[in-house]
Amino acid sequence: MYDFNTLGFIGAGNMCEALLVGIISSDFFQAENIILSDIREDRLKYLKEKYNVKTSIDNRETVKASDIVFLSVKPQDIATVLSEMEGILNPNQMVISIAVGIPTYFIESYIKEEVPVIRVMPNTPALFQSAMSVLSKGKYANDEHLNFAKRLLSCVGEVDILPEKLQNAAAAINGCGPAYFFHFIESLVDAGISVGLSKDIAYKLAVQTMEGSVKMLKESDRSPTELRRMVTSPGGTTIAALEQLEKGAIRFFIIKAIKAATNRAEELSQKLNK
Ligand SMILES: NC(=O)c1ccc[n+]([C@@H]2O[C@H](COP(=O)([O-])OP(=O)(O)OC[C@H]3O[C@@H](n4cnc5c(N)ncnc54)[C@H](OP(=O)(O)O)[C@@H]3O)[C@@H](O)[C@H]2O)c1
């Protein structure tokens, strides 16, 4: 059983703050056992005052003080941060990275020791404690590390574990997903306006209907097909609308879109070479 008592974040931006809120409010780590570092001193001052956590402008100091090192900088800053860490991590620590598209082998290639690394793909609803995160373990991580990371990420929402080879496919759904749903809502609002509704009413109808539909999916034990059939009466209005969606080959294009996002993620990962 590993003894992880201190948590350090490298990069104290939006995702770090979202995780901080979830972790402190669920008592997973006490604020005095959390240290944040960032290149922005004003950001550190703000977070220190708001959450009572420790801060440091020095990433190396944070890494040395932390059992778990959380990498929460943007993907383009990961290599810089990892270069600073060379030689100071040890196998009793664990690295958790939420940098989109950065494989565990890339992180491991910078760390000379056999340090466990967990890769996470969260999504923007984490900012509202409603994330869907996907976790994968690297070469030196075991199930215990994975389960600890799972409990940690559960502080901001739902978590699932997947083999790393499926991370890009998962990201095409959960990572990009919020954009698809927002795009769909935007389209519904425009459609509502085209049939005479005001923008505000169309927006309220669309958003509340999406929320209610999600509640039905989560709380009933019926499949999406059964729930759709409940509102699709023969010769009625819903089937008239669905016929138009199918004429536009909506399923075909959704599948194409998810494949395009997955392929793009693969291309971006392949460009990453130390
Ligand atoms: N936002 C999301 O919804 C989301 C979803 C899934 C995954 N992610 C992943 O989560 C990670 C963090 O995203 P975010 O939205 O929280 O980004 P963010 O708000 O930009 O936070 C990153 C922070 O790290 C700082 N930073 C840059 N270089 C640094 C360095 N060398 N050492 C220490 N700190 C440094 C940045 O400062 P500057 O601003 O001055 O550069 C910024 O304050 C990203 O890798 C992203 O791919 C985000």
- Mark whether 146 and 185 lie in a shared domain: no
Calculate how far, in angstroms, residue 248's C-alpha sits from the geometric centre of ligand 1. Answer: 38
| pLDDT for residue 1 is more than 70 | no
| pLDDT for residue 271 is more than 90 | no
- Mark whether 78 and 163 lie in a shared domain: yes
pLDDT in tens, 85-142: 988 999 999 999 999 889 999 999 999 899 999 999 999 999 899 999 999 999 999 9
Question: What mean pLDDT, rounded, does the chain reach?
Answer: 95
Pocket of ligand 1 (CB under 6 A): 10-16, 37-40, 43, 59, 72-75, 77, 80-81, 98-100, 122-124, 175
- Mark whether 205 and 255 lie in a shared domain: yes
Assess if residue 87 is contained within a domain. yes
- Mark whether 22 and 121 lie in a shared domain: yes
- Mark whether 192 and 155 lie in a shared domain: no
Assess if residue 272 is contained within a domain. no
Assess if residue 139 is contained within a domain. yes
Q: What is the CA 218 to chain-centroid distance, rounded?
A: 20
Tokens of 265: 């993620």
**One-letter amino acid identity for 116?**
P
| pLDDT for residue 274 is more than 80 | no
- Mark whether 222 and 101 lie in a shared domain: no
- Mark whether 54 and 73 lie in a shared domain: yes
Helix (H) or strand (E) holding 54, with range, is strand 54-56
Q: What CATH number does residue 208 fall under? A: 1.10.3730.10
Protein residue with least CA distance to atom 2, ligand 1: 124
Closest C-alpha among 83, 43, 85 to residue 64: 85
Classify residue 163 by burial, with Cβ atoms within 10 Å: 0-12, 13-18, 19+. Answer: exposed
* Contact status, residue 97 vs residue 107, Cβ threshold 8 Å: yes
pLDDT band at 273 (very low <50, low <70, confident <90, very high): low
- Mark whether 79 and 210 lie in a shared domain: no
- Mark whether 261 and 233 lie in a shared domain: yes
Assess if residue 235 is contained within a domain. yes
Assess if residue 273 is contained within a domain. no
Q: What CATH number does residue 53 fall under? A: 3.40.50.720
Assess if residue 274 is contained within a domain. no
* Contact status, residue 39 vs residue 90, Cβ threshold 8 Å: no
Tokens of 96: 């958790």
- Mark whether 121 and 29 lie in a shared domain: yes
- Mark whether 128 and 239 lie in a shared domain: no
- Mark whether 18 and 151 lie in a shared domain: yes
Q: What is the distance between the alpha carbons of residues 204 and 201, in angstroms, rounded to a whole number?
A: 5
Assess if residue 92 is contained within a domain. yes
| pLDDT for residue 24 is more than 60 | yes
Number of domains in the chain: 2
In sequence order, the β-bridge partners of residue 35 are 8, 54
Angle between helix 14-25 and 41-51 (nearest 10) = 20
**Residue to mutate (ligand 1; options 17, 39, 41, 153; most atoms within 8 A of CB):** 39
Angle between helix 237-247 and 250-270 (nearest 10) = 50
Q: What is the distance between the alpha carbons of residues 97 and 71, in angstroms, rounded to a whole number?
A: 5
Which domain does 48 fall in, by range?
Answer: 7-167
Protein residue with least CA distance to atom 24, ligand 1: 11
Assess if residue 172 is contained within a domain. no
The domain boundary residue, chosen from 119, 136, 167: 167
Tokens of 210: 């999406």
Classify residue 227 by burial, with Cβ atoms within 10 Å: 0-12, 13-18, 19+. Answer: middle
Residue 86: its pLDDT value, please?
A: 86
Q: What is the CA 108 to chain-centroid distance, rounded?
A: 21
Q: Which residues contact 48 (CB under 8 A, 6 or more apart)?
A: 36, 54, 55
The domain boundary residue, chosen from 109, 142, 167: 167
Calculate how far, in angstroms, residue 75's C-alpha sits from the geometric centre of ligand 1. Answer: 8
The domain boundary residue, chosen from 167, 190, 209: 167
Calculate how far, in angstroms, residue 13's C-alpha sits from the geometric centre of ligand 1. Answer: 5
Residue 3: its pLDDT value, please?
A: 82
**Residue to mutate (ligand 1; options 16, 59, 77; most atoms within 8 A of CB):** 77
Q: Is this structure's pTM higher than 0.95?
A: no
Question: What is the rounded average pLDDT of the residues 213-242?
Answer: 97
